[in-house]
Amino acid sequence: MSGNPSVEFFDKQFERQVREHDLALNPFELAALPHLNGRVLDLGCGMGNLAVAAARRGCSVLALDGSATAIEHLRSVAAAERLDVEAPQVDLSHYEIGETFDTSVSIGLLMFFDCPSARWSLGDIQAHVREGGTAIVNVLIEGTTYLDMFDADRHCLFERAALADHFAQWEVLRSEFSDFEAPGGRIKSFATVIARKPHAAAAAVT
């Protein structure tokens, strides 16, 4: 994903985190952690802090990101601890999920695609969670005023209720909105959904 302004933005952030050993889980990752089990997809894993935490708990993890800095760091940690983490660097804007997972995580990723691609990727995530498995998705939403990390020509701020609407047929375990202060007196507004995929028979009844 060379030449992608969003990847370049986060590469610089990740380089600082590596230098400063800033590897703590963020609030969304902390909320996700209790729900991780089995085979886990971390789509847009960043530094891989959640992927590492999941593997330390016995999960098998496929962690994907477009940042070379982030992936190199994650591979180093996984190798040093002999963790069950596979971490390829990929162009996430064109990535198609190739297997079914017990838990799929996408924290802070989908808004970096154009809106049709973001919606398609969300559907791809849902389609590749096994019945009874869990999806954990977090996106920036309308009301966000801090846009420095976006490619000006390609990003998607979801409507406030859009993420929850996508999971209307699932068992929603957690759905919430949160705002964080950003540089320049601006705001990052997030929606987060943690939901369990229904079994086909149960879905048919409803």
Cα–Cα distance for residue pair 89/66, rounded to 1 Å: 5
Instruction: Residue 26: give its domain's CATH number.
Output: 3.40.50.150
Buried b (16+ CB within 10 A) or exposed e, 36-73: beebbbbbbbbbbbbbbbbbeeebebbbbbbbebbbeb
Q: What percent of the chain has pLDDT over 90?
A: 81
3-state secondary structure of 98: coil
Residue pLDDT, tens place only, 77-99? 999 999 999 999 999 988 999 99
**Residue 195, helix vs strand vs coil:** strand
In the beta sheet, which residues pair with residue 154?
A: 151
Q: Report the domain count for the chain.
A: 1
- Summarised one tens digit per residue, pLDDT across range 131-146 is 999 999 999 999 999 9
**Predicted TM-score of the model (pTM):** 0.90
Q: 30 is in which domain, residue-wise?
A: 5-205
